[in-house]
């Protein structure tokens, strides 16, 4: 037993039950909690994954009994995109900040290999944003708009045959990141007997592929029975509608067909009421809690480990945040120093190389200069010689010229005689 465990056991053993001799007042804690929660309002974020036109928006309208005024998605998008819309809803005095995230273009690409990636990235991005807020020095978590996904409604195509590989791959990638509730969309298109077979085939395929879907909690006495029976009902086969028809004195969401009407809220027609009951009325808080305590915790653990933080060292001794930080800091500084040294060496090397290069250029230039200079001197010498010769020739010419004129003069005089 480690020292900490021994200490903890001692503390536990020292716990004593005491009787109060009068009313103190901490029995109002639950009410304080309720009023605080009501004051702050609740946040709930739903992710709807399903192929285009599978009835995602209609089901959301039906679930929250409103019109979110969504527009149909195009079928020709090259990649899957996620679109989030946030709404403020109020029922009695309880405010709900609801975010519905929709997959746009899911299942429309020929190559569906990367379809789940956008979804995984989106979920991780919300976890990361929360983690960053948590790590801030000046945190404002009480007013922070938490966008982490609390539940993922996975819309299964009502083929009657089983799951598509896209469904299995995507759900497998997501099952450690989000609470998945698979639902059979447009369940009015499957016959009653086929639906039972379809449901068990889906569950069988999910189990065979190790996909863990969200289980309604059975650890609380008050919801044990209902949640147990609802877990056995999965996946819920749902129908949605935006059309209303008067049934008795109540307007009911209904899908009208030539052969009859499907009432969304009629439990004999589909599992819509069961889904609403489980999702909104019974287990919303459990999903919020599981998102924080299980999925986010896992993400946080992985991310902090990735950043180099750890709770225990190699000898299993506890390591404080500060120790890890200081160790990280010193290795970082060492790395920096090493990088700086490397850069300095590199710089010196480069300077030397450049110097040698410049010297070589200078030498070449000098050589060229000397060569030109020599050429120039030769030229000058030649010119000098040519000039000298010219001057000699000129002198010779002048001498001869004067000689000639002297001869002609003496010759002229002797002729006269
Ligand atoms: N048969 C049947 N049709 C439905 C059901 N729910 C919706 N539809 C119809 O399916 C069509 C598409 O419904 P939407 O709710 O817009 O589907 P979506 O999944 O939001 O579509 P995108 O957002 O474009 O991907 C509409 O014509 C709906 O009336 C249902 O439960 N059963
Ligand atoms: Mg839609």
Residue 397, token pair as written in the block: 């010419």
Contact 242, 61 (CB under 8 A): yes
Q: How far is the CA of 265 from the centre of ligand 1 (A)?
A: 17
Question: What is the number of residues in the chain?
Answer: 417
Q: Could you tell me if 46 and 150 are in contact, meaning their C-beta atoms sit under 8 angstroms apart?
A: yes
Q: Is 68 in the pocket of ligand 1 (CB under 6 A)?
A: no
pLDDT at 9 over 60: no
Predicted confidence at residue 7, as pLDDT, reads 54
57 lines ligand 1 (CB under 6 A): yes
State residue 338's pLDDT score.
96
| Atom from ligand 1 closest to the CA of residue 102 | 23
Helix (H, G, I), strand (E, B) or coil at 214: coil
Options 3.20.20.70, 3.30.70.890, 3.40.50.300, 3.40.1160.10; CATH of 36-307: 3.40.50.300
| Residue 173 near residue 125, CB atoms below 8 Å | no
E strands, 215-330, in order: 236-237, 244-247, 250-257, 260-263
263 lines ligand 1 (CB under 6 A): no
> What value does the CA radius of gyration of the chain take, rounded to a whole number of Å?
45
Q: Whose CA is nearest to atom 25 of ligand 1?
A: 52
Q: Is 167 in the pocket of ligand 1 (CB under 6 A)?
A: no
What is residue 364's predicted lDDT score, i.e. its pLDDT?
96
The answer, yes or no, to whether any atom of ligand 1 lies below 6 A from the CB of 158, is no
Q: What's the token pair of residue 48?
A: 């709807």
User: Is the whole model's pTM more than 0.75, yes or no?
Assistant: yes
Q: Whose CA is nearest to atom 32 of ligand 1?
A: 186
Cβ–ligand 1 distance for 73 under 6 Å, the answer: yes
As a whole number, mean pLDDT of residues 92-103 equals 92
Between 155 and 321, whose confidence is greater? 155
Question: For the stretch 148-159, what's the b/e string if a residue is b when 16 or more beta carbons lie within 10 angstroms of its beta carbon?
Answer: bbbbbbbbbbbe
pLDDT at residue 11 is higher than 90: no
Is the CB of 175 within 6 Å of ligand 1?
Answer: no
Instruction: Say how far residue 47 (Cα) sits from the centre of its chain.
Output: 16
Pairing of strands 151-156, 94-104: unpaired
In this structure, which ligand is nearest to the CA of 51? Answer: 1
Position 416 confidence tier, pLDDT thresholds 50, 70, 90? low
Report residue 281: phi and psi, to 5°: -90, -35
Q: Tell me if 56 CB under 6 Å of ligand 1.
A: yes
What pLDDT is stored for residue 77 in this prediction? 81
Tell me the mean pLDDT in the region 231-247.
92
Q: CA end-to-end span of the chain, whole Å? A: 160
Q: Is the shortest distance between the CB of 58 and ligand 1 below 6 Å?
A: yes
Q: What is the mean pLDDT of residues 24-39?
A: 89
Query: Residue 325: what pLDDT?
Result: 83
pLDDT at 264 over 90: yes
Give the ligand whose atoms come closest to the C-alpha of residue 105.
1
Question: Is residue 86 within 8 Å of 73, Cβ to Cβ?
Answer: no
Residue 72's pLDDT is 82
Q: Are 107 and 52 in contact (CB under 8 A)?
A: yes
The predicted model gives 59-70 an average pLDDT of 88
Cα–ligand 2 centroid distance for 56 (angstroms): 5
What pLDDT was estimated at residue 410?
Answer: 82
pLDDT (0 to 100) of residue 307: 84
Query: If you take atom 2 of ligand 1, which residue's CA is the nearest one?
Result: 186
pLDDT of residue 152: 96
Residues 6+ apart with CB under 8 A from 166: 107, 112, 115, 116
Quote the percentage of the chain above a pLDDT of 70: 96
Q: How close is the Cα of 60 to the center of ligand 2, in Å?
A: 9
Among the atoms of ligand 1, which is closest to the Cα of residue 241?
6
Is it the case that residue 2 has pLDDT exceeding 80?
no
Structure confidence at residue 8 (pLDDT): 56
* Cis bond upstream, residue 81 (ω within 30): no
Q: What's the token pair of residue 209? A: 């592929």
Helix (H, G, I), strand (E, B) or coil at 386: helix
The tens digit of pLDDT for each residue in 180-220 reads: 999 999 999 999 899 999 999 999 999 999 999 999 999 88
Distant-in-sequence, close-in-space partners of 56: CB < 8 Å, separation ≥ 6: 48, 50, 102, 153, 155, 185
Q: Which long-range contacts (CB under 8 A, 24 or more apart) does 315-323 make?
A: 318/4
pLDDT in tens, 301-350: 999 988 888 888 778 888 887 888 888 889 889 999 999 999 999 999 99
Distances (CA, A) of 410 to 11, 100, 182, 407, 416: 154, 135, 143, 5, 10
Q: Ligand 2 center to residue 226 CA distance, Å?
A: 31
Q: How far apart are CA 281 and CA 58, in angstroms?
A: 20
- What 8-state DSSP symbol labels residue 176? T
Question: What integer is the mean pLDDT of 107-122?
Answer: 87
**Alpha helices for 18-144 (secondary structure H):** 29-40, 56-63, 115-135
- Cα of 57 vs centre of ligand 2, distance in Å, is 4
Closest CA to 82 of 128, 58, 49, 131: 49
Is any atom of ligand 1 closer than 6 Å to the C-beta of 189? yes
Confidence of residue 38 (pLDDT cuts 50, 70, 90): confident
Give 55 Cα–ligand 2 centroid separation in angstroms: 7
* Percent of the chain scoring above 90 in pLDDT: 65
Q: Which residues are registered as beta bridge partners of 97? A: 43, 88
Lowest mean pLDDT among 85-99, 299-313, 315-329, 358-372: 315-329
Average pLDDT across the chain, whole number: 90
């Amino acid at each position: 037993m480690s020292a900490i465990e021994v200490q903890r056991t001692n503390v536990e053993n020292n716990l004593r039950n005491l009787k109060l001799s009068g009313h103190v007042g901490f029995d109002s804690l639950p009410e304080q909690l309720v009023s605080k929660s009501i004051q702050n309002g609740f946040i709930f974020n739903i992710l709807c994954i399903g192929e285009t036109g599978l009835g995602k928006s209609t089901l959301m309208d039906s679930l929250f009994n409103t019109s979110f005024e969504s527009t149909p998605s195009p079928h020709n998008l090259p990649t899957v995109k996620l679109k989030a819309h946030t709404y403020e809803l109020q029922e009695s005095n309880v405010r709900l900040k609801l975010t519905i995230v929709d997959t746009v273009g899911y299942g429309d690409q020929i190559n569906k290999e990367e379809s789940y990636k956008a979804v995984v990235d989106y979920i991780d991005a919300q976890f990361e944003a929360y983690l960053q807020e948590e790590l801030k020095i000046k945190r404002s978590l009480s007013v922070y708009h938490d966008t982490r996904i609390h539940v993922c409604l996975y819309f299964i195509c009502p083929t009657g045959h089983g799951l598509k590989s896209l469904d299995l791959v995507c759900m497998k990638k997501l099952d450690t990141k989000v609470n998945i509730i698979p639902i059979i969309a447009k369940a009015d298109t499957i016959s009653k007997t086929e639906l039972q077979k379809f449901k068990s085939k889906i569950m069988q395929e999910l189990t065979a592929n190790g996909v863990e879907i969200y289980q309604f909690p059975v650890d609380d006495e008050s919801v044990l029975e209902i949640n147990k029976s609802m877990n056995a009902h999965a996946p819920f086969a749902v129908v949605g509608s935006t059309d209303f028809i008067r049934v008795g004195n109540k307007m009911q969401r209904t899908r009208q067909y030539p052969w009859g009407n499907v009432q969304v809220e009629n439990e004999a027609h589909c599992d819509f009421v069961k889904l609403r009951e489980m999702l909104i009325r019974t287990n919303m808080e459990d999903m919020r809690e599981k998102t924080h305590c299980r999925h986010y915790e896992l993400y946080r653990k992985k991310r902090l480990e990735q950043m180099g933080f750890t709770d225990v060292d190699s000898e299993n001794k506890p390591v404080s945040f500060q120790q890890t930080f200081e160790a990280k800091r010193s290795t970082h500084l060492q790395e920096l120093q090493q990088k700086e040294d490397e850069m300095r060496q590199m710089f010196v090397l480069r300077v030397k190389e450049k110097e040698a290069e410049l010297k070589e250029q200078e030498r070449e230039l000098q050589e060229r200069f000397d060569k030109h200079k020599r050429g120039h001197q030769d030229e000058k010498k030649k010119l000098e010689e040519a000039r000298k010769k010219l001057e000699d020739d000129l002198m010779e010419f002048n001498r001869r010229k004067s000689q000639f004129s002297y001869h002609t003069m003496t010759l002229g005089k002797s002729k006269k005689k």
